[in-house]
């Protein structure tokens, strides 16, 4: 039985608790949060035996095998390094870290301790994403020429997730001092992961980030300086050219994810807003002459939580481990550097 604990018991941690509780061979035994009382309430809600106000105390006292880190982004690196020091397997929320240096330190520490790691790149849970990666790798689309990816939200416009001015879970996402890399680090990170998972590594990019006027510059301790829209021109190692963009200003979009990949033999199209998550569409073979798109049914795929537990049980690396998380962090880092130089071309080593 794998004894698990959750570090950080805010909004997203509810999903972690509910899913880990359903996974065979996994026992959720403790949780912690720095806000007094928050972990206790969370433990009561999810039936978790122990609750703490510090990860340090929890890791000292509990007998654990693994942790899931669901804190604000800035705490990912210190919490992961602490857990790795205790020899625990670590699943970490995205983005892996608040900067590339910290991401590299986390990956290096995990490698040295030979522990299992995972980053919660949730869009890999989607059957269509896994099938798209298989279709591209099979060569059915031929040489990939052109790619378009996007991830759009609009919580700065619409109040469907509450008023962002009143909730710290939105305010820290708008503040670089609180470790947020803005929309880039929040949802752009998913987009960079799924576009590179499906198409292949990114070799270079030109990115523009934008922080728009919100009518107020500061709310309490939160200075609202993090980016909230970006557009990137992407050059893939396989020679393909693409665009990727994300925004919190995409009015009318709650959480819209889309990816189109076009090769010299066919194309594929994923639209997680309009189609069922297990569906993708392809235009292949004779259909390319008539521009006919057909749905492809995609089999269910294990989610990242299950992949993490399976990796611990088998001793084999999870699909998106800290090495993958570090590669994606390098895309975020390159985006920031490119934008700081007016959208200059930045190569990724």
Ligand X SMILES: NC(=O)c1ccc[n+]([C@@H]2O[C@H](COP(=O)([O-])OP(=O)(O)OC[C@H]3O[C@@H](n4cnc5c(N)ncnc54)[C@H](O)[C@@H]3O)[C@@H](O)[C@H]2O)c1
Binding site for ligand X (CB under 6 A): 7-13, 32-35, 38, 55, 70-73, 75, 79, 93-94, 120, 122, 169, 186
**Nearest residue (CB) to ligand X, 52 versus 262:** 52
The tokens of 214 are what?
A: 């919100």
Positive/negative CA dihedral, 55, 57, 60, 62: negative
CB of 169 to ligand X, least distance (A): 4
**In this complex, which beta carbon is closest to ligand X, that of residue 170 or of residue 262?**
170
User: Nearest 5°: CA angle at 121, between 48 and 329?
Assistant: 115
Q: How far is the CB of 77 from ligand X (least distance, A)?
A: 10
Of the pair 120, 339, the CB lying nearest ligand X is at 120
- Encoded tokens for 122: 């949730």
232 neighbors 346 (Cβ within 8 angstroms): no
Residue 162: DSSP 8-state: B
Which residue's CB is nearer to ligand X, number 172 or number 236?
172
Cβ pair 320, 121 in contact under 8 A: yes
Shortest distance (Å) from residue 69 CB to ligand X:
8
73 or 269, CB closer to ligand X?
A: 73
Shortest separation between residue 333's beta carbon and ligand X, angstroms: 17
Least distance to ligand X from the beta carbon of 113, Å? 20
Question: Among residues 7 and 128, whose Cβ is nearest to ligand X?
Answer: 7
Joined tokens for residue 120: 């919660």
CA-CA distances (angstroms) from residue 2 to 5, 89, 90, 310, 312? Answer: 10, 10, 12, 10, 8
Name residues whose C-beta falls within 8 Å of residue 71's C-beta, 6 or more positions apart in sequence. Answer: 7, 8, 10, 79, 93
Rounded distance, CA 41 to CA 85, Å? 28
Q: For residue 236, give Cα distances in angstroms to 42, 84, 129, 194, 201.
A: 43, 33, 18, 13, 6
Whole-number minimum distance, CB 237 to ligand X, in Å?
A: 26
Residue 285 beta carbon to ligand X: minimum distance, rounded to whole angstroms: 35
β-pair partners for 51: 31
* Residue closer to ligand X, measured from CB, 96 or 198: 96
């Amino acid at each position: 039985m794998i004894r698990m604990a959750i570090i950080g018991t805010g909004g997203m941690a509810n999903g972690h608790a509910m899913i880990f509780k359903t996974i065979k061979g996994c026992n959720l035994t403790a949780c912690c949060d720095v806000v007094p009382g928050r972990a206790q309430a969370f433990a009561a809600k999810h039936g978790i035996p122990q609750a703490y106000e510090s990860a340090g105390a929890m890791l000292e006292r509990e007998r654990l095998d693994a942790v899931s880190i669901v804190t604000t982004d800035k705490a990912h690196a210190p919490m992961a390094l602490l857990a790795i020091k205790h020899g625990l397997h670590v699943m970490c929320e995205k983005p892996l870290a608040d900067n590339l240096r910290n991401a590299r330190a986390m990956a290096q520490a995990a490698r040295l301790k030979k522990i299992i790691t995972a980053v919660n790149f949730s869009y890999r849970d989607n059957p269509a994403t896994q099938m798209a990666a298989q279709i591209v790798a099979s060569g059915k689309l031929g040489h990939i020429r052109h790619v378009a990816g996007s991830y759009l939200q609009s919580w700065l416009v619409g109040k469907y997730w509450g008023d962002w001015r009143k909730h710290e879970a939105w305010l820290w996402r708008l503040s670089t001092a609180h470790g947020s890399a803005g929309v880039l680090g929040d949802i752009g990170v998913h987009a960079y992961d799924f576009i590179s998972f499906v198409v292949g590594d990114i070799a270079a990019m030109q990115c523009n980030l934008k922080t728009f006027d919100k009518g107020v510059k500061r709310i309490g301790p939160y200075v609202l300086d993090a980016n909230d829209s970006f557009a990137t021109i992407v050059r893939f190692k396989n020679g393909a050219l693409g665009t990727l963009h994300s925004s919190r200003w995409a009015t009318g979009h709650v959480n819209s994810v889309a990816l189109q990949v076009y090769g010299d033999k066919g194309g594929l199209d994923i639209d997680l807003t309009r189609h069922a998550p297990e569906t993708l569409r392809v235009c292949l073979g004779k259909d390319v002459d008539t521009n006919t798109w057909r749905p492809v049914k995609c089999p269910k795929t294990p989610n990242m939580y299950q992949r993490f537990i399976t990796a611990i049980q088998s001793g084999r690396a999870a699909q998106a481990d800290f090495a993958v998380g570090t590669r994606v962090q390098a895309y975020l880092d390159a985006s920031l550097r490119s934008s700081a130089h007016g959208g200059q071309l930045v190569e990724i080593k």
